[in-house]
Amino acid sequence: MKHFNIAIDGPAGAGKSTIAKEVARRLGFVYVDTGAMYRTMALHFIRSGIDPKDEQAVAASCRDVDVSLRYENGVQQVLLGGENVTGLIRTEEVGNMASATSVYKPVREKLVELQQALARRENVVMDGRDIGTCVLPDAPAKIYLTASSAVRAGRRYKELVEKGVECDLAEIERDIIDRDYRDMNRENSPLRQAEDAVLVDSSCMTVEQVIAAILEAAKSRGLEVE
């Protein structure tokens, strides 16, 4: 039986993970957070003291790293060398390292194989930067989820403030714009909207409206919901 896969792509801070998790929960699908996998690789590079501009060192380090997934109560956990690092990978430092090193082909090859294997075994909702274009090009339902840089920065600022982290809104937006540029202009698997993806701009939408739009798009592409 062929499994139904939903691919959600979009820039940093568009709410992909939040939305994808809830869509997966409602459908009873497996949620695959590819960003967490790249962040786990990034944490490995940071711990190894690797300069993100040193492509050779990054490539060499890929041969040693062990990234794996497990699910606890339906929630994805990422493991680095057997250590659960799910709670350690959401810092700005790790995010920036992930954006800088995900441009390298060895990093992408290491993780795409695992992602594709999951999608062959399970009904999945998978989010990232190149899911519909490269990782799951045959996914029946593809979504490109975006929002303005100002809206995305505001969301990130609120999230950090609620955690008690001191931050600057303008600096956060600059980082987001810089990350967008890197993601959209990298040589390997750049961020772009797949030709057959449904565009969802969440700038002026509630979470519930975004979820409804994605479920409707999936149903229009053949998803049968009981």
**Ordered per-residue pLDDT tens for the chain, 226 residues:** 478 999 999 998 899 989 999 999 999 998 988 889 999 999 999 999 999 999 999 999 998 888 988 888 778 899 999 999 999 999 989 999 998 998 899 998 989 988 998 899 889 999 988 999 999 999 999 999 999 999 999 999 998 999 999 999 999 999 999 999 999 998 888 999 999 999 999 999 999 999 999 999 999 999 987 6
Which amino acid makes up residue 23? V
* Overall fold of domain 29-121: Rossmann fold (3.40.50)
Query: Is CATH 1.10.3720.10 what the domain over 1-13+125-219 is classified as, yes or no?
Result: no
Binding-site entries: 10-18
**pTM assigned to the model:** 0.81
182 CB-contact burial (10 Å; exposed 0-12 / middle 13-18 / buried 19+): middle
Domain with CATH 3.40.50.300 in the chain: 1-13+125-219, 29-121
Beta pairing partners, 198: 143
Binding-site entries for ATP: 10-18
* Dihedral pair phi/psi, residue 222, rounded to 5°: 110, 0
Read off the tokens for 157.
Answer: 């600022």
Read off the tokens for 68.
Answer: 């794996």
- Given a contact cutoff of 8 angstroms between Cβ atoms, the answer to whether 141 and 221 are in contact is yes
- Given a contact cutoff of 8 angstroms between Cβ atoms, the answer to whether 34 and 127 are in contact is yes
Beta pairing partners, 6: 125, 141
- Given a contact cutoff of 8 angstroms between Cβ atoms, the answer to whether 94 and 42 are in contact is yes
- Given a contact cutoff of 8 angstroms between Cβ atoms, the answer to whether 207 and 19 are in contact is yes
